[in-house]
Amino acid sequence: MLSIDTEKIADHIERSQDYLLSRQHKEGYWVGLLEADVSVVSGFIPLIRFLGIENLGKEKKAMDYLLDHQNTDGSWSMFYGGQGSLDVTIQTYFGLKFLGLKPENEQLARAKKFILNQGGIEAANTYTKIILALFGQYSWKGIPEIPPEIIYLPRWFPINIYDFASWTRSTIMAFSIIIAKKPVYKLNREQSVFELYRNPERIKHPVPYQAGSRCSLGNLFLLFNRALKIWDSLHNRLKIGRQPAISKVEKWIIDRQEDDGSWGGIMLPWLFSLIALKILGYSNDHPVISKGLKGLDDFISEGSRHIILQPATSPVWDTAWSVIALRQSGLPAGHPRLSRSLEWLLSKQVTEEGDWKVNNPRTASGCWSFEFENKYYPDIDDTAIVSMALSLLKDSSGQHQQAVSRGIDWVLDMQNKDGSWAAFDRDNNKRIIRDIPFADFITPLDFGSPDITAHVLWVLAKLGYTSEIGPISRALKYIKRSQNADGSWYGRWGVNYIYGTSKVLQAAAALGLGANSSIGPHIERGAEWFMFIQNEDGGWGESCASYEAGSYQPLGVSTASQTAWALLGLIASRGLCRQVEKGVEYLSSTQNADGSWSEKHFTGGGFPRAFYLKYELYKDYFPLMALAEYKKRIDRKQQG
């Protein structure tokens, strides 16, 4: 076993605490930069122009940001170090041409070659084609229909809007208006991207949505889409009244705008809701549009040379984990900084009823969301983790205990029938929806996942619940069923099998389930898997490519956040061992002088196989938790 100086570990912990405290905002919260691939910026450029907004200073910085992130083969990737993505590259190429870059530019020429080699615009996903259609670069004939009349479909119908995941639901409601109206923003010839078609015939005659096997649900949707095209044509030719449906969708959208101007606190439905309303005749000085445009500024991180547009912000999530890391590393419960965090977290508890209420009419609110403002779409993961954070703090009034109690009651009521927990809704898992045409760029369902389920179990255990109660017993059965053959567990919201496996091992340990329990053999296999995939330098690293492959894909280098997750899982299941020592040595040797860690790779989930995230503070609060847990074990061993 390696010999690690415990005094040095204490120093690493103290410096990490100091760094994390230096990142706290005066109001009591933490929020790190949430970064995605460059298409968030490149797509924003034409869409914001569609809304009639122009800012040449920001656009120049956007161009520099895009050009500086191009790969050597001319492409742009979905995540740092990843292979080139056709859709990200098309959207970025279009954004750059929109800003005035000439096609003879060497970087554009390389991008064009990559795009054509990958199949051209014809091979792009639906989202890319919608963006191009808005600007006359793709025919609306090739875009799948979403009739606004979908708003009328009742709950008992095979498909209705509340069968879609919350993020998909809010997006397709905006799309239903846009696709019904089929607007086109006129470009000048220099901005056109028709050169990206491999077959020029497809400009006027696009290939419709393509499905898989002849008997697949995807082909049923294809046939249904053809019928919807005829329905749409009848509306346009015979002037059949569609306005009532559009008006109902319009009201649905407006009713769900948040106080900060967003929709759901995330960029995709936000931008397209603004575009849908703009198409309906709303001016930029209308209160809804004005508030929406003003709120976008808070999502832009602007430096001296670049701008980065965040797809969302994560203050509640970052604050809860920062509190947990600081408390578990020894900061007192009544520390003034943590008292500020307590007040801020309490102020963010959601008491309004959101879309989740549709499937849970008897459930009382008392939950938390991920973002600064998002009362319609609180989530189970945040509610569980915030409940854990609050339980570690001091509040003489007892208000935080009441808040935790309400939060946990809400979480328990949101458990799926299969024993799992998902992100936003209960039993949002109609498999018929998996093959809708829009599933090629946005995950249409909110399935339960091992990582969220394990988070809930971990929190319930820490709050004193035992494995004998029904919800925990059902969840454990789900966890056992969902283990992979190699011993790992899938991680939906963190990359990927390292994240999921870590969370399960920690949950089992918190519940006191050891080798002699029914889940014991599963935990043993999970721990062995961690030891098998450890890197030579002592750390761990997994690529976002794991989602595409459906199995663990090594990153080739170690990351601070994933090393911390692996350590937390191994310490929970194996205690002090040689692999843990090596992992701790890796974190110790890679800590920066200011107490932080460096991390370029994306380790956050988004839409698997389509969209990934880099949480700036993952590299800091999770390593602090891992080092603190290691030191506790060492201290316990030394005390006998």
In this prediction, the residues of the chain whose per-residue pLDDT falls under 50 are 211-215
Record the pTM: 0.94
Give the integer Cα–Cα distance in Å for 640 and 635: 9
The active-site residue out of 355, 381, 425, 440 is 381
Closest by CA to 610, choosing from 74, 221, 79, is 79
Please tell me whether residue 589 adopts helix, strand or coil conformation. helix
Residue matched to tokens 């004193």:
464
Catalytic annotation on 409?
Answer: no
Amino acid at the residue 523: I
For position 146, what pLDDT does the model report? 87
Residue 492 identity (one-letter amino acid): R
- The pLDDT of residue 211: 46
Q: Sheet containing 34-35: which strands, arranged edge to edge?
A: 34-35, 611-615, 604-607
What is the reported pLDDT for 310? 95
pLDDT score at 278 = 96
For position 201, what pLDDT does the model report?
83
- The DSSP-derived string for 193-210 is -GGG-SSGGGGTSPPPPP
Of the candidates 556, 525, 529, the one whose C-alpha atom is nearest the C-alpha of residue 541 is 556
482 CB contacts (<8 Å, ≥6 apart)?
420, 450, 489, 490
What is the spatial distance between Cα 14 and Cα 631, in angstroms, rounded to a whole number?
A: 12
- What pLDDT score does 145 carry? 84
pLDDT 10s digits, 480-494: 999 999 999 999 999
- How far, CA to CA in Å, does 554 sit from each of 324, 495, 540, 545? 29, 11, 8, 9
